[in-house]
Amino acid sequence: MIERAVPSNANILTNIALESKAHWNYTQEQLDSWVDDLTITPEYLSKTSALVYKIDGKIVGFYILEMLNMTTISLEFLFVHPAFIGKRIGHELITHAIENARNKKGFVLNTLSDPNAESFYAKYGFKTIFQQESSIPGRYLPEMEIEFPENM
């Protein structure tokens, strides 16, 4: 079940983001360098469109949309707890996020993807528009977007 996140969910969402990132076999040093980027605060949740996926009342995944301007919405986070990867929760979250962005009348939904997730986003119509160098030498983050021509 997908429902709106509340500020008191911040620590749970941060833990899911960190555990999900660790699923991809990054080094502890790399993971430690991303703690600030993956920390979600109650204040951040109160000013964004954050939704959680619950199973039996427990949060197992989430996504966060942020309006960048009148036409562009950013998918800032989309994570599923590692114990639930492969159970189509990511599919449900991304399709919900796309529909949510479309309903907000955005022209474009943009995301800066982890390289391991690029093919996931591509399955849902996102196109890579740029490769941004990451903090890890030789590693690039695909900036991806999906357009909503019906909103233009």
Does pLDDT of 5 surpass 90? yes
Q: What 8-state DSSP symbol labels residue 117? A: G
What mean pLDDT is predicted for residues 7-36?
94
pLDDT digits (tens, 9 = 90+) for 71-114: 999 999 999 999 999 999 999 999 999 999 999 998 999 999 99
Beta-bridge partners for 65: 49, 75
What mean pLDDT is predicted for residues 24-31?
89
What's residue 134's pLDDT? Answer: 86
What's residue 95's pLDDT? Answer: 98
On whether the 2-151 domain is CATH 3.40.630.30, my answer is yes
* Consecutive H or E run containing 23: none
What's residue 53's pLDDT? Answer: 98
- Could you tell me the pLDDT band of residue 137, with boundaries at 50, 70 and 90? confident
| Integer CA distances (angstroms), 59 to 42, 62, 110, 148, in order | 16, 8, 24, 29
Q: Where are the domains of the chain?
A: 2-151
- pTM of the prediction? 0.94
Spatial CA neighbour of 52 closest among 23, 16, 83: 16
